[in-house]
Amino acid sequence: MRQVTGRSSSSSESKASIRLASGGRFFSISTLSNLTSNEDIVVCVDTARVTLIPQAMATQISAEEALSITGQTICEDETAIYSQTVGNTVAAIAISSSCYQSLVSQLGRQLSFTTPLLSISHRGEQCLALEIVDNICYLRLYYPTLKVAEAFEFTSNEELLFYITNILTASNTPTDIPIYIIGAKEQVKALKKYYKVICE
C-alpha cells in the first residue's frame, strides 16, 4: 500500500493518495497529521474496482448498484463510494471499509475521492490514454469523444497487449491510433513493438 501524503497548493487544496494493492486492506492515518483541519483533501484511490457513470445517474442509484451493473460485487470488508464530479461524470469506487472509516473520522467533510480513470487529459483527441500503476491499467479511449473507460489488473505485458488489442478491435478503432502512457517503462517497450506509443 502506498503511503498517504499531503501536499498544499495555492488553491488551499491538499491531495492524498491511497494505494490499494492486491490483497492490501490495511491503512494508517499517522502521515495525515501535518494536514490542517481547514484543508480540502482529495483522495486518489488506485484500484481496478471502479466504473464511470453519468452524474445524473448517480443521483438515482447507489455506488454499490453502479458497480454491480458491471459485475463487480462489493465484498464484506468494502464500501462503495462515489467520487467527486468531473464534467458530468462520477466514478463508483470500491474501497476498504476500515480505510474509508478512518479517513472520514480523521478528515470529515473536507474529504472527497477521485480516480485516475477520471482524468480528462487528451479529451477531444483521437487516441488511447493509459496510466499504469503497478499491475493496474487505467484505460481511456477517445475517438474523439470518450468511447471506453476501464480499469483492469494485468499480470504480464502479454496480457496487457492482449487486452488493448481487444479493446481496439471491439471498438473498431484503427490500430495506428497514438497511445499515450504514464508510468510504465517496461510496458512502453513492449507496446512499442506493435503500436505508436508516446511516453508522458
pLDDT of residue 109: 63
Choose the CATH number for 127-199 among 3.40.50.11540, 3.30.429.10, 3.30.420.40, 2.30.40.10: 3.30.420.40
Predicted confidence (pLDDT) per residue in 98-114, tens digit = 888 887 887 776 788 89
Residue 78 to residue 119: CA distance in whole angstroms: 24
pTM: 0.82
The CATH label, of 1.10.10.60, 3.30.420.250, 1.10.1200.10, 3.40.50.720, for the domain at 13-118 is 3.30.420.250
Secondary structure (3-state) at 54: strand
Distance CA 65, CA 140 (A): 22
Give CA torsion, residues 65, 69, 72, 75, to 10 deg: 20
* Domain spans, the chain: 13-118, 127-199
Residues 6 or more apart in contact with residue 26 via CB below 8 angstroms: 1, 98
The tens digit of pLDDT for each residue in 175-191 reads 899 999 998 888 888 89
Which residues on adjacent β-strands are paired with residue 153?
A: 136
Same fold, 13-118 and 127-199: yes
Band (pLDDT 50/70/90 cuts) for residue 20 is: very low
